[in-house]
Structure 1
Amino acid sequence: MRALTAVDVGVSKMGHLDAKTHELIALAVAVTTRCDGCIAVHTKKAIDLGLTREEIAEALSVAISLNAGAALTYSAHVLEAVDTLPDQ
């Protein structure tokens, strides 16, 4: 946990993105990785930073669109794998 906290602190000190942007990214990643704990922690942080429901929803819409694209891409990989298997 100390190492994870150290990484989190280090990332937040970089200074190129503001804290709100960090939390929007964190929420999008939490959704795409299906991490309930991350969702809870980063939702609270986002609200504490003053992000609105609408801002959060917009960031999540980006995550949804990307995740659907990834699902489409990886579905093609599965079909390619099926096509390479010998007929049974």
Structure 2
Amino acid sequence: MFHNWSELLPTLQKAFGALGRSNPKMVKAYMALGEAASENNVLDAKTRELIAIAVAVTTRCDGCIAAHTDAAIKAGANREEVSAALATAISLNAGAAYIYSLRTLEAYDTLKAPA
């Protein structure tokens, strides 16, 4: 098992609260981002959470994975829907690695060229 996800989420929530007490303006601004993203109600909560899971995977954030998976479950997402979001993340991340590989080769060629 990679993490004890049942323990990770409450640990993160507790730590999040501790940071919030020491920097309430930052936490308020952070929370406002999520509120702003859902303000127009074009996407339902389940869809937003499935997108968040895919982003969490591509950014490799275990805390985000725990929080957004929990929120997706609460929003009614089933395992098949989460798996579909993960497939999208995998396909995108592989594509991103390919594009950044091309950028790296371009950097190499540019930096290797005689001045």
Q: Which residue of 2 aligns with 1:21?
A: 47
Dislocated runs of 4+, deviation >2 Å: none
TM-score after normalising by structure 2: 0.72
Higher CA-based Rg: 2
| Distance in 2 (alpha carbons) for counterparts of 1:32 and 1:58 | 14
Q: Which residue of 2 aligns with 1:42?
A: 68
Amino acid at match of 1:68: A
RCO (CA 8 Å, sep 6+): is it higher in 1 or 2?
A: 1
Structure 1: gaps of 5 or more residues: none
TM-score after normalising by structure 1: 0.92
Residue deviations 1:10-61, cap 9 Å, x none? 2222111111110011001111111111111000000111100110000110
CA RMSD, Structure 1 to Structure 2 (Å): 1.4
Q: Does residue 33 in structure 1 map to residue 78 in structure 2? A: no
Percent identity, aligned pairs only? 60
| Distance in 2 (alpha carbons) for counterparts of 1:34 and 1:15 | 27
Structure 2: gaps of 5 or more residues: 1-26
Amino acid at match of 2:60: R
